[in-house]
Amino acid sequence: MNDTYLALPAMALRTVIVLSALLVGIRLVGKRHVGEMAVDDILLILMMANAVQNAMTSGSGRLLVALACAGSLIMAGWLAGHVFYRFPFLERSVTGSPTVLVHGGIAIRGNLRREHVSQEQLMLAIRKQGLVKVADVELAVLEANGSISVVPNEAKGGD
Amino acid sequence: MFAHWLQLIFSHPDLPASLVIAAKSAVIYLFVLVGLRMLGTRELGEMSAYDFVLIVVIANAVQNALVGGDNSLVGGLISAFTLLLVNRVLQAVIERFPAVRKGIVGEPVVLVTNGQPRWQRMQKEGIEREELEAALREHGVASIDDVRLAVLEVDGEISVVPKHGTVHRMRRRPVRGLRTQ
């Protein structure tokens, strides 16, 4: 009886702890890789979500527990949105900042290595932009969301 | 009472149980990953709705085995972090060894060069003429003759480089299925 009142805030707090730990963990492990193996990413995320499920709910199937957990997740998301809006440097530290991979037709090897972008992944992004060579690229940037944006070289034209 | 409350929150398994959770998580993850790969890299790279359902169901199927009835906070986190770590190690291995990369990720396949279609390769990859032409149209190219290069990428999309002019690139979309971004 007493536990009911104790359990709900405990679940809510556990949920928030789990969410924070996962976000920090994903950032530490450096998971911002290029959209290559989409299946594996989805599998990883789903399995992680399932792995922490009982850590949030204590394996309880009660409606109130579900509502407390889901509610605190939604609140945490809402709160994070506000905090990130107010303090942009915090968002950068969580999501990472854009990294220049190619500039003026020349690949920046150090940045490629540091961000674990392989030659194959870079060429894939370039081909998707309808270009063939690194020399055709004015600017290629690894964005915070893991996608590579490619700006063609003006001089490239229709050769 | 407060101590009891803290106990409710920061529950954790003992050391042997923690190790078991970590080991089980790693084994299950690798098993599922290899299984999905054996179904076929390219097909799954394309991610139809069917594939998506399959993955969700698999993730749910292995859930209880991951933490093995452990309902503690720390137990769940151990499992999740094991998954992350195995994934990261795998990524590093793929990066280091091109041969492993070829096996797991696959290789891009050239489908058209300078207006010359390679029908045999397309047949081998299960790309039909209609699919290729749809991909060309999405890039604003009307005919195979106007293609300088068309490549089936490892993520299942077809990238198109036209012979002349700029690319009228549309929304990035895979050949089949979901993966929109």
pLDDT in tens, B170-179: 544 444 443 3
Nearest by CB to A48, which of B32, B74, B84? B84
Q: Do B105 and A58 touch (CB under 8 A)?
A: no
* Optimal mutation site among B83, B114, B151, B171, interface A, most CBs of chain A within 10 A: B83
Chain A residue whose CA is closest to B160 = A130
Q: Complex ipTM, two decimals?
A: 0.71
Higher pLDDT, A154 or B176: A154
Burial of B3: CB neighbours in 10 Å, binned 0-12, 13-18, 19+: exposed
Q: Looking at residues B48-56, what average pLDDT do you find?
A: 76
Burial of A78: CB neighbours in 10 Å, binned 0-12, 13-18, 19+: exposed
B73 and A18 Cβ atoms separated by less than 8 Å: yes
- Nearest-Cα distance to chain B for A98, in Å, is 18
Q: Which DSSP category does A154 fall into? A: G
**Tokens 């992944």 label which residue?**
A121
Of all residues in chain B, the percent with pLDDT exceeding 90 is 10
Q: Do A130 and B71 touch (CB under 8 A)?
A: no
> Which chain B positions have a beta carbon within 8 Å of A18's beta carbon?
73, 76-77
Q: Do B66 and A118 touch (CB under 8 A)?
A: no
- Nearest-Cα distance to chain B for A29, in Å, is 7
For position A30, what pLDDT does the model report? 61
Which pTM value belongs to this model?
0.71
Burial of A48: CB neighbours in 10 Å, binned 0-12, 13-18, 19+: buried
Q: Do A130 and B83 touch (CB under 8 A)?
A: no
Q: Looking at residues B40-68, what average pLDDT do you find?
A: 72
Roughly what angle, to the nearest 10 degrees, separates helices A88-95 and A63-86? 120
Chain A residue whose CA is closest to B153 = A124
pLDDT tens for residues B89-131? 887 888 788 787 777 777 888 999 998 999 888 888 888 888 8
Most confident listed range (A40-44, A107-111, B172-176): A107-111
For position B43, what pLDDT does the model report? 47
For residue B85, the Cα-to-chain-centroid distance in whole angstroms is 17
SS3 A136: helix
Chain A residue whose CA is closest to B33 = A40
pLDDT tens for residues A128-141? 888 888 998 999 99
Confidence of residue A34 (pLDDT cuts 50, 70, 90): very low
For position B181, what pLDDT does the model report? 30
> Which chain B positions have a beta carbon within 8 Å of A152's beta carbon?
166-167
Confidence of residue A155 (pLDDT cuts 50, 70, 90): low
Q: Is the pLDDT of residue A102 over 90?
A: yes
